[in-house]
Structure 1
Amino acid sequence: MTTNPFLANFRPYIADSVKNLRELTIVPLIVGTLLGIVFGASSMYLVLKVGITVSASIPVAVISITLFRVLSKLGMRDATVLEHNIVQTAGSAGESIAFGVGVTMPAIMILGFDLEIWRVTLVAVLGGLLGILMMIPLRRALIRDQHGYLKYPEGTACAEVLKAGANQESRNASIEAATTRADAGITSGGKIIVIGFGLGFLFNTLMQVFKSWKEVPAKEFGKSFEGGSISLENNPALLGVGYIIGPRIAGIMFGGGVLAYLVLIPMIKYFGGGLTEPLPPATLLTIGKMALEGKDSIQTTYILYIGAGAVAAGGMISLFRSLPVIIKGIRSGIADFRGSNKQTVEEVLPRTDRDLSMKWVIGGILTLILIIALVPTLKMNILGAILIILFGFLFVTVSSRLTGEIGSSSNPISGMTVATLLLTCLVFLLIGWTQPDPYFVTALTIGGIVCIAASNGGTTSQDLKTGFIVGATPWKQQIAILTGALASALVLGPILIGLNNAATVYVPVAPTAFATEFRIPSGQLLQEDGQLKTEQVTDKALNDNTAYYIWHNTDVNQGETGRYLVNEQGKPVYLVDPGINGAIRERTDGTTVTKYNAPKATLISYIIKGILSQELPWGLVLLGVMIAIVLEISGIPSLAFAVGLYLPVAVSAPIFVGGMVRWMVDKDLIRKLQGRNLTEEELTAETDKSPGVLLASGYIAGGALAGIMVALATEFLGQIMQTFTKWSEANNPFYAGAQSDWLSLVPFTVLCVLLYYTGRELLFKGKDELR
């Protein structure tokens, strides 16, 4: 007998006795998988830009309800509430995998190795599936037995959306049919997401393809405040992120940007501007000759290391703060894992309590571990596989429990990844595994798989909580999320590679860049399976089809460090500036490209290189650590501030604007709800379901996908895209080059106004049924 009073009084929306309501059918599974790929791709874009993602479950659920309701009016069968749950379950996997891939895999390239598609795809697939399989044995303890104690806020909110949008067939089968409300507000919400998607997509297309306004309006201050600057990236996706995460976190993040660009950079410029020698870690330029941003700038040479130290400290602090929950989760996780097999054997379980067979779960985990240990592409070994088992189970358990207590958005996955890498690198250091090849990649692969597994473990927990409330069959949900995770993992790798290649710039090497007689020994050229590896220039404007050898220069005494293409005579011909973490934003023909900062991937590369090679400027890193500690002492969440400190202020500024729009909207909504005597948590839940959140979700998906499609089109249709740009320069009356910076903010302001009035339910509104 259970002693949980919440569980004793709980009844799912669809009772266990209902056996014939459609659930795991092919069309909802396909729709959910495709939506998972779409939101996974947009999440990949976000994590490369700002290092964060937002939950996709509720937007996917609303789109599912709207889509099937429209199809039912065209003669097709409407979906049941359990089928909609399958859609959101399969659709949520892409976002969590995108976060893990985007946080870890670009670090391979930053460390000086090639970003290979098979390695990225294998890490995504193995980490995604491992996280789901490791979470399944914990479902009964965390989702069922802890019902009422572990809230799982996103999963519970998604269940309410599904119940509110249930069709008549589901309502007839439900014990709550008499109290279930109509669904007009849900279908109206789906239309709002579509409108937001269209606006975000159109905005970024007009800006990036036709150059109708400037992407980053900026203002640098004069001599009286030399080094100070402010800028804002015209990006609807970042505006939507700010609206969803809310004013507090958005404001704290922007505060980090303000400290970097209006305090630290001006201070460095003021105190170091008169130096006649480069100040380490700079090797080429003095501070007086450095730009504020870009390659070899003050931001990339000094601020990045300060920000990296702050991010690392913030992640570790958030992890240590969760230690009591972690210890409790480890104990209960081990007990639950042991007890789950016994329970399934000893009793006949109801429909709503049946997981995948433990034989399949354990067999699947062992198979994945064997693949990790044996596939040469991963450069893994037995010790690495053991560390993945230990850290994977630990952090999947912690992540699954923490999402129940504080929600997915506050789950410190970054801290868990940093802890995994720190411990892994320390183990490698103790046994003498410090060579860059293969141990840098081995350590990163361990961190990547554990990060993705922990992220997907938390997402799986939220989905299973949604299913628990609506009365789903767990094993069917588990098949759905395994399917969605596999499909998203197979697609996200190529998207990551494509985004990097599309923004890669090839810079011809000047004859004076290296000594006249400089030759690269063949042993320094990149090899694979004993063969020298070659690469062709992808920039069509250079009109160069030669296959060059690849060389990674890590010695500042030889010349500028970086990745080079080398000719048959062993002389560097091109410096390759990557799209991810690169600094050169203009090609030789004058066209501009959009770079991706990948803040957390850069941090991870610093951790690996700093411990195994001991080559970090620790003075700057420790300054960042001290900033994080001061913030925590002051009661301010340091991780969000640290991310803002690390990123260009142009990225955190639109997030801040979105947060301010949300603040103004929430003031109005809270005033309307004052008579309902709601708690603070209930008020937050109500504002989280406003139409503004749905429009912001549309901005994110539309703006991000437009950015991805433009980047991929530039990669594969470079000449056509250049023709569009040149036509716009000659014929577009709104061409960005002819505008002032502040005039370029007008379209962005229009998006803000639309978001404000939609949030207040004065625009794009339907019946207020979400509340």
Structure 2
Amino acid sequence: MAHGTPPVVDERVPLAQSPESPLYTPFIPPTQSPTEMTLRALLLGSVLGIVFAASSVYLAIKVGLTVSASIPVAVLSIAIFRAMGKSNILENTIVQTTGSAGESLAFGVAAALPALLLLGYDISLTHAFLTAALGGVLGVLMMIPLRQGLIVQEHGKLPYPEGTASADVLIAGQEGGTNARTVIIGFLVGGIYKFAYSGMKLFREVLSTPLKGLKSATLSTEVSPELLGVGYIIGPRVAAITFAGGVLSYLILIPAISFFGSGLDKPLLVHTGTLIRDMSPDQIRNAYVLYIGAGAVATGGLISLIRSLPTIIGAFKRGVESLKASRAHGGVPQMLRTDQDLPITVVLVGSALLVLAIWLAPPLQVNFMSALLIIVFGFFFVTVSARITGEIGSSSNPISGMVVATLLVTCLVYLLMGWTSSEDRFMALTTAAIVGIAASNGGTTAQDLKTAFIVGGTPKRQQIALFVGVLTSAMFIGLVLVTLNRGATVTIPEPHPGVTVTEMTQETRTQYTFPWAVSADALASRGLDEAALRKAAWAQGYDLASNGGAMELRSWRQVSAQDVGAVTLSPTGGSQVKVADLGGVTQGPERTFKEGFVRGADTPVPAGKYLVDDAGSIQYVVDPGIGGRISTYEGQALTRYAAPKAQLFSLIIDGILTQRLPWDLVLLGVFIALMLELCGVSSLPFAVGVYLPISSSAPLFVGGMVRYFVDRVRGGESDFSPGTLLSSGYIAGGSIAGVLIAFLEIVTDGAGSRAINLPALLGHEGVIGGFLNTVGESELAHPVWSNIWGLLFFAGITLFLLRSALKGQSAAPSTPHGK
């Protein structure tokens, strides 16, 4: 979890014996053996782990951030078991351990795997599952021999702030204190609020306005409950620095590029040939600013890693020394329950099997050298991650820097070996993803083992629970990622005559056509033209094409001409009208297109998936929801997930293996990051702000400012404070609602989302319909009133968070407790 205050050193809630005691006695002493690893604990932990993993995937592809699930999982476990009649602290600890595994896997999967879409591949469920499962298992395996040294022998020296905070919540719950109600309220408010704007379109998701007097400058914000919650949790400093990066991007860099490029007569760095003077602010960002942001993010990550080098080297040395010392008397039976780890043979045999599994699993496409690199890097970075999280907490753990370092070394090795094909890029990304997941899960595992050490859990049972949490979450993480991507994927006409794909698949897509005899008199009487019809048809899931005056509606769904004729259109500036009222609709011929991918270094069109005709020419682009390059079509804003970390990883792979990165722009980002470091400002969150749309960093800033005010009034916040718990609920509720809406889009092929779109259903003629089309998510929305209406709702959940944070009671007794 990210925090805005320094980590604890020696202080914690004094509910158990002081950690400075040389013979530490946990809350449940080893002489007692209460019920611990039960089936219900594993089931509940797995379910909660899947829920919070799904929310973490959503956050990671949206803004490149995740927050810890340990505290809310612990609080919910206490409440649920107490509602069932009894609550046992060690059983709750198993739930917390199992549940927290999902979040650590989600970050690695959602940060890295979307880069496949940018390299011209699809995200495979099997590949995602194997990557998550093998990386997670590697992280747990490598922590087993390190536990004795890092958790036990270093107790009193390594605070493990998140693990200690989780223990405090569990102990407080055992003694009668919990606040699960706050998490549940936040979950419900966040979910209903998200459904209101993302599903029912009652108000706009992104509020935006151009700044007059500064060309191409825009201010915008999402009215997002999950981003508001993240901003509260990461605190005012990180939130403000991230927002400052967005200000640089949208109020300085984009206007500057627009100003200086407006007189250019040729395009720069873009495939489409669009001139800068013809670009929108978002197009300028995608074509130029993203490279600057990538240079800044990579530099920030590497600086974070370099700054941690003394800690990393010391952590690795002490970790190995602790491992040797703990195994020096390995022949002596471990008598105490709280000293029982899984045997070292599990680690050795498991590691050997992992190498074989990574090497031999066809979906991973990893050769033996890369499999060995994964194990070597995995052991190194798990050791480093476990030590760093013990010293300064998970928020300061440079996982992205570790992935970037792995990717750089791997790509350089590949370049020396001459492995530069598109398949080698796929393998490089898989290698770095598994290492990143292992490092992330290693740090989380260390925090969980610390929690168990304080409360008196049995280590080997915790380790088994971690394996269960990894495998159950891994089964759903890929599904959530694929669902979010497919739910926002659009197929858009983009003909490239004579251009063929680099790899054809066996998949085909059938297009259904419906000639439409539109009456010119019917159009004239309603004041409509072809452009208005095209926009209205697209809003209902149909593509309108015309050739020599003859119009044709096209759909990828199998429907009848009668169904098409009954569709109600809501054209801009006109009244609602049925398709059949404008002209007769007949069944036309079916067309079949083949799916193919464009990959490689020198391609005339961007990498991605395309549909080609019988002649082999590209006719349509299948633009993904994650990292898609088309943000609007026919006046409709498309749902897009920025996936900033995935964008960075794909740029690194392409830049090294194809040697065609636009270094001028990348180096601008490098020196921006270096300038910030010289000014004493952390460059990584600032760089992420440059990379993200300002609409994503603005709600983070609002949440951070709420946290700032609460901290000033209350004198600081704890991990189990009401504001933090409500924010966790906002994040989970809003994210899960987003996943469910995407799932609805897929299973109904878009019909479900259109059925709950109230502005489109009601039209703009009645009082209610006219009002919703003026202020809601509609093409007819008034630019001022819709912004004010959306801000009122966002202000409502912001004030509710502020009120709850100021008036609520913490879930544990309040004592001086750093985080």
TM-score after normalising by structure 1 = 0.89
Alignment pair present for 1:446 and 2:431: yes
Q: 1:212 aligns with which of 193, 202, 212?
A: 202
- 1:557 Cα offset (Å): 7.1
Distance 1:620 1:289 in 2: 20
1:165 and 2:173 aligned: yes
Q: Deviations over 1:601-652 (max 9, x none)?
A: 1100111111111121011111101011111111111100000010000000
Alignment of 1:276-287 (within 5 A): 276-281=265-270, 284-287=273-276
1:89 is aligned to 2:89 = no
* Residue 246 of structure 2 corresponds to residue 234 of structure 1: no
Query: In the alignment, what sits opposite 1:627?
Result: 672
Distance 1:556 1:286, change over 3 A: farther
Aligned positions of 1:83-482 closer than 5 A: 83-166=91-174, 182-183=176-177, 186=178, 189-222=179-212, 224-281=213-270, 284-293=273-282, 297-436=283-422, 438-482=423-467
**One-letter code of the match for 1:690?**
S
Match of 2:788 in 1: 742
Q: How far is 1:769 from its partner?
A: 4.1
What amino acid does structure 2 have at the position aligned with 1:221?
L
User: 2: CA distance between counterparts of 1:540 and 1:227?
Assistant: 31
Asked whether the 8 Å contact 1:505–1:585 carries over to 2, the reply is: no
Shift of residue 361 of structure 1?
Answer: 2.2
Name the stretch that deviates more: 155-164 or 106-115: 106-115
Alpha-carbon distance change, 350 to 767 in structure 1, aligned in 2, over 3 angstroms? closer
CA distance in 2 between partners of 1:266 and 1:609 (Å): 28
Residue 349 of structure 1: how far off its partner (Å): 3.5
Partner of 2:523: none
The one-letter code of the counterpart of 1:218 is S
Please state if 1:727 is matched with 2:716: no
Show the counterpart of 2:25: 11
User: Could you tell me how far apart the structure 2 residues matched to 1:690 and 1:58 are?
Assistant: 10
Q: Which shifted more, 148-157 or 352-361?
A: 352-361
- 1:486 Cα deviation (Å)? 0.5
In structure 2, the residue corresponding to 1:579 is in which secondary structure? coil
| CA displacement at 1:480 relative to structure 2 | 0.7
Q: Which amino acid aligns with 2:32?
A: V
**2: CA distance, partners of 1:466 / 1:768:** 15
CA drift of 1:509 comes to 2.8
The equivalent of 1:59 in structure 2 is: 72
CA distance in 1, matches of 2:714, 2:186: 21
Could you say what secondary structure the match of 1:345 adopts? coil
C-alpha offsets along residues 451-508 of structure 1, whole Å, 9 cap, x if unaligned? 0000000000000000000000000011111101110011111111111111111112
Runs (5+) with no aligned partner, structure 2 = 1-17, 513-539, 543-553, 558-591
Q: Which residue of 2 aligns with 1:674?
A: none
Q: Describe the superposition over 1:496-554 as per-residue Cα deviations: whole angstroms up to 9, x where unpaired.
A: 111111111111234xx42xxx2638xx3335xxxx45456899645236452313166
Residues 197, 700 of structure 1: 8 Å contact kept = yes
Distance 1:560 1:392 in 2: 33
Match of 1:526 in 2: 504
TM-superposed CA distance for 1:586, in Å, is: 4.5
Provide, for residues 75-107 of structure 1, a one-character-per-residue CA deviation record: whole Å limited to 9, x for no partner.
xxx120001100100000110100000111111
Contact 2:71 2:719 in 1 (8 A): no
CA drift at 1:587 = 5.7
What secondary structure is seen at the aligned counterpart in 1 of 2:444?
helix
Q: Where does residue 50 of structure 1 map in the other structure? A: 63
Matched letter for residue 331 of structure 2: V
2:463 partner amino acid: Q
Cα–Cα, structure 1 residues 5 and 92, in superposed 2: closer, same or farther, change >3 Å?
closer
Bigger shift: 113-122 or 647-656? 113-122
Give the Å deviation of 1:398: 0.3
Could you tell me which residue of structure 2 aligns to residue 648 of structure 1?
693
- Percent of matched pairs sharing the same residue: 47
Task: Give yes or no for contact 2:120–2:607 (8 Å, CA) kept in 1.
Answer: no
Q: Answer whether contact 2:351 2:375 (CA < 8 A) is retained.
A: no
User: 1:364: Cα distance to partner?
Assistant: 1.5
Change (3 A) 1:766 1:408: closer
Structure 1 residues 564 and 124: CA distance shift in structure 2, 3 A: same
1:691 aligned partner, one-letter code: P
For 1:548, the equivalent position in structure 2 comes to 594
Structure 2 CA distance, aligned partners of 1:352 and 1:24? Answer: 14
Aligned-partner residue type, residue 758 of structure 1: S
* RMSD (CA atoms): 2.1
Matched residues in 1 for 2:510 and 2:149: separation? 54
Deviations 1:426-457 (A, max 9, x none): 11111211122x21011111100000000000
CA contact (8 A) 2:49 2:102 kept: yes
Q: Which has the higher strand share?
A: 2
Deviation at 1:9, TM superposition (A): 4.4
8 A Cα contact 2:120 2:598, kept in partner: yes
Residues of 2 paired with 1:629 and 1:560: CA distance?
A: 31
Which structure features the higher share of helix residues? 1
Are the structure 2 counterparts of residues 371 and 251 from structure 1 closer, same or farther at C-alpha, using a change threshold of 3 Å?
Answer: same
Report how many residues are paired: 711
Change in Cα spacing, 1:537 to 1:458, as seen in structure 2 (3 Å) is farther
Superposed CA deviations along residues 387-416 of structure 1, whole A, max 9, x for unmatched, are 111100000000000000110111000000
8 A Cα contact 1:553 1:563, kept in partner: no
The offset of 1:120, in angstroms, is 1.4
Tell me the CA shift for residue 724 of structure 1: 1.9
In 1, are the aligned partners of 2:334 and 2:340 still within 8 Å (CA)?
A: no
* TM-score, L = length of structure 2: 0.84
Q: How does 1:626-705 map to 2 (within 5 A)?
A: 626-670=671-715, 683=716, 686-705=717-736
**Residues 509, 593 of structure 2: 8 Å contact kept:** yes
Q: Write out per-residue CA displacement over residues 670-729 of structure 1, whole angstroms, 9 at most, x where no aligned residue.
A: 1xxxxxxxxxxxx5xx44332011110000000000011101111112212212213255
Q: Amino acid of the residue matched to residue 593 of structure 1?
A: L
Match of 1:68 among 49, 74, 81: 81
Q: Partner residue of 1:757?
A: 803
> How big is the shift at 1:742?
2.5
CA distance in 1, matches of 2:433, 2:500: 33
Tell me the CA shift for residue 279 of structure 1: 2.5
Q: Where do 5+ consecutive residues of structure 1 fail to align?
A: 73-77, 167-180, 671-682
**Structure-2 residue corresponding to 1:176:** none
Q: Does 1:707 align with 2:738?
A: yes
2:37 is aligned with 1:31? no
Report the 3-state secondary structure (helix = DSSP H, G, I; strand = E; otherwise coil) of the residue aligned with 2:87.
coil
- 1: CA distance, partners of 2:414 / 2:161: 39
2-structure distance, mates of 1:193, 1:258: 32
Counterpart contact for 1:519–1:569, Cα < 8 Å: no
Contact kept in structure 2, 1:554 and 1:562, CA below 8 Å: no
1:359–1:7 CA distance, 2 compared to 1 (3 A): farther
Counterpart amino acid of residue 51 in structure 2: V
Helix, strand or coil: the match of 2:704? helix
- The residue aligned with 1:489 is 474
